[in-house]
Amino acid sequence: MTERRISAQQLGLAMGLAVADEKALFKWLLASFLFGKPIQQSVAERAYRVLVEQHGLDSPARLARCSQQELVLLLGQAHYVRYDISTADRLLKLSRKLLAEYDGSVIAICRQSSDQHDFAMRLLAFEGIGPKTVEIFMREAEVGLYGQS
């Protein structure tokens, strides 16, 4: 049984990604991070909605202000419990690294990258981001960032 693939359109991010809007790019990176884990897509989507839509964790700065325990509780609300502690920890590391190395900007990662491969390698340098997360992210962010798919 295959599970449906969540899209940026379903999360209301497609237009923002098409024009490389920073807020939409971060939200899609966060969603891609959650969807890239070995967990049901419906649970990952619910976790995204709890974090972003219900609790306003829609920027690296807002996410970084949370404690690990707060994030574990929010992930628990979404029934994202299998990897809740490691996911919370990695979300904090992601937001803090993005703030420290790229001024909190996904666009800055792109600007500092020599090409799409370099951009992907920079994403892979974030703890918890693997090839699947990069694939999901680039599937819909590539056009806005690089003008092609």
List the pLDDT tens digit at each of the 149 positions of the chain.
345 678 899 999 999 999 989 999 999 999 999 999 888 999 999 999 999 999 999 999 999 999 999 999 999 999 998 788 999 999 999 999 999 999 999 999 999 999 999 999 999 999 999 999 999 999 999 988 988 54
φ, ψ at 88 (rounded to 5°): -60, -45
Residue 48 CA to residue 42 CA, distance in Å, equals 10
In terms of Cα–Cα distance, which of 94, 96, 116 is closest to 33?
Answer: 94
- Taking a C-beta distance cutoff of 8 angstroms, is the pair 28, 123 a contact? no
Domains and CATH numbers, the chain: 14-146 (1.10.340.30)
Q: How far from the centroid of its chain's Cα atoms is residue 58's Cα? A: 10
φ, ψ at 79 (rounded to 5°): 65, 25
